[in-house]
Amino acid sequence: MPRIVGVNIPENKRLEISLTYIFGIGRSLSNKIIERAGLDKNKRAKSLNAEELAKLKIEVEKLKTEGELRHVVLSNIKRLKEIACYRGMRHSRHLPVRGQQTKTNSRTVRGNQRKTMSSGKRKVEKK
């Protein structure tokens, strides 16, 4: 498996897709990287020789990816929490940040807890 910036990229996928396994690289950015390196985006990752792999590594290392990018994202969220802006408060309360509705959705962010509705059965009082 070819290894770029500490990530094993899949061998049997096209180069355009296999670069997206690196955190911070999507489809459009992977196409730009391949174009700058002068490679074919339809080529499989296993068929890269050492010279082509070195070109890819050089192009990817110019960008913020993986640990460095994760650190930047976390520090941005921490800054929002410290200044107590609306987005920071939503982050700290574990609620959706970008204006989504919360009455019925946002199960991923809030967890699978249903506090707003009861089961429908009324409790029977014992005498």
The pLDDT of residue 100 is 87
pLDDT at residue 127 is higher than 70: no
The pLDDT tens digits of the residues spanning 74-117 come to: 999 999 999 999 999 999 998 889 988 888 888 777 777 666 66
Residue 116's contacts (CB-CB under 8 Å, 6 or more residues apart) are: 103
Give the residue ranges of DSSP H helices in the chain.
15-18, 27-37, 50-61, 66-82, 86-92, 107-110
Residue 9 within any structural domain of the chain: yes
pLDDT at residue 34 is higher than 90: yes
The pLDDT tens digits of the residues spanning 41-74 come to: 899 988 999 999 999 999 999 999 989 999 999 9
Which domain range does residue 71 map to?
Answer: 67-99
Are 15 and 50 in the same domain? yes
Are 71 and 58 in the same domain? no
Are 47 and 23 in the same domain? yes
Give the residue-averaged pLDDT of 7-27.
Answer: 93
Total tally of structural domains belonging to the chain: 2
Q: Are 45 and 56 in contact (CB under 8 A)?
A: no
Are 17 and 52 in the same domain? yes
- Residue 57: name the closest of 6, 16, 10 by CA: 6
The pLDDT of residue 118 is 63
| CATH number, position 32 | 1.10.8.50
Are 13 and 41 in the same domain? yes
Q: Which helix (H) or strand (E) holds 12?
A: none
